[in-house]
Amino acid sequence: MTWRDKLNLSTPHPPLRDWQQRCLSLALAQLSPEQPHFLCQATPGAGKMLMAAVLANQLLQRNEIDFALYLGPSREVVSRAEQILADVTGFAMAGDLGARGGCYTYQSLRSRLRAFQQLGKCHRVFLIWDEGHHAGRLPGTQQGANEWGQSLLLLEHYMTYTLALSGTPWRTDGSCLPLLRYLDIPADEEGSDKAGEEVLLKQCLIPDFVYTLKEAVRDGVCRLPYIKLIDNQYIQLTLNHANHNTPPTLKQFASIPRLLRHPGISYADLLRHDAPMEHVLTKGMETLAALRQAQPRAGGLVIAANIEHAEEITEWLMDRGEDVCLVTSKTPNAHAKLQEVRESTQAWIVSVGMISEGVDIPRLRVCCYLSHIRTEQHFRQVLGRIIRRMELHDPDCYLFVLNETLLRHYAHRIEDDLPDEKAIVTVVPTEQWPSDRGGGNTHLVEAQHSVIHSTDDTAVLTPDDASVVFGVSATTTASTAAKARSQWEHDMAFSQRFIEHLATLKL
């Protein structure tokens, strides 16, 4: 059977959602020699890869391309894309003899660049590049801001068409994405008020198709996310002095944001203290247990700060009888284990970065965010891991995160992509801590005796220099929130509406 014969056969694939069909139709109408690039900006979890595979299949059937190439950020994401492309097109997509395409990581692009250029010289090639924010170019130029961006720019002229897929098409370093269209707009909306003064411009990305989280929740494509900000109104910081005759300094804080203003404690330090970590995990366990009553296969995800942290979290969960899978870059056959987790009923998966983007495990409905990374891009990518719906009876998901200032800010920005009447962000005070010494965690109290001494309480400290004790919190009622408002005023200054609706927010 020839390629052309096989193309005449109808290839079954899951039915496209309305947004996928609209995006597909627009891409087919728009892609041309004059406009060879197309950007689909769709919220994580919406199903971008299936749309891309159907588009590749349509271009093959129309005899507009000969081959399809896929580039992705990790082996797990690439493996999943290869499977979807092969299932939809009916052709092998492993890049070997007889295949009609290949799927590769961005990391491997440099070593294969010349081969891909040669393929493009001789054949019509369709390039799909996923999670495009990994590649960058310098604004206003055609020069790569990083190695992956430069490689894409060198490959561009050899490709017939390109399709960029991303739910977060921006870069934290401020550089632009290659191959895409940007519009120069004034950096200052009011412009210059001085005659002859040069107007500063910034580049604004122009997507060809946009599908927001708000639309996805409305359409039942994505779950409604409930973001729970974990905090405590009674936090004690103990600092020992180099002078053994001087008693330890005790400081009280009414919230995590206030605690983190102290130079002795950073957000990364806080992740290593038992009390906040354990409470985030406990809330996640309680929520997942309730969800599994109705959906036994529902799963939870923990994003840890590093491998050592992930191992500690795994041990903590297992000690409490939880069924846990640990997957890190050091895990043998990590990608096979992820596939097993996808199909299993295992309750928890703990990782660092392997599941932060692009990995499709729809049964995940709870996430405990204990990563040291505090960028909006990473925050939204992680949220995307638990937001993909499986059926009619899994309408929501839950993200637990410490009430750190930046993370709280990102939680509020989610309101831009959620129906106003449904978006819910809540501050969850810790409860039921032991009552010793004002309700502190006994393990942490004991640790005070072995801390490294510091010369004063304003020095920059290592995590062992300070002991943090979380106390018993007040009940979360409207009257309690009103009484505590004065304590929270400065911490919540970034949003008056947030203060007024501290217990439960409507965004």
Q: How far apart are CA 18 and CA 419, in angstroms?
A: 19
pLDDT band at 442; cut points 50, 70, 90: very low
* 3-state class (DSSP) for residue 506: coil
pLDDT value at residue 184: 52
Answer for the pair 264, 454: CB distance below 8 angstroms, yes or no. yes
The residue type of 398 is: Y
Q: What residue type is assigned to position 339 of the chain?
A: Q
d(CA 131, CA 78): 11
Is pLDDT at 57 greater than 80 in this prediction?
yes
CA 452 and chain centroid, separation: 36
Q: What pLDDT is recorded for position 335?
A: 75
d(CA 13, CA 89) in angstroms, rounded, equals 9
Q: Which helix (H) or strand (E) holds 61?
A: helix 48-61
Q: Per the structure block, which two tokens stand in for 244?
A: 């053994």
DSSP type of residue 246: S
Instruction: Inform me whether the pLDDT recorded for 431 exceeds 60.
Output: no
Return the DSSP state at 169: -
- Angle formed at CA 360 by CA 354 and CA 363, multiple of 5 degrees: 110
pLDDT band at 423 (very low <50, low <70, confident <90, very high): low
Query: Which residue's structure tokens are 């401020």?
Result: 174
Q: How high is the pLDDT of residue 9?
A: 47
The set of residues, in sequence order, having a beta carbon less than 8 Å from that of 275 and lying 6+ positions away, is 232, 430, 433, 441, 444, 468, 469, 470
Confidence band of 109 (pLDDT split at 50, 70, 90): confident
Mean pLDDT of the chain: 76
What is the tens place of the pLDDT at every residue in 225-253? 999 999 988 888 887 777 777 788 888 89
Which of 83-87, 154-158, 288-292 has the least mean pLDDT?
154-158
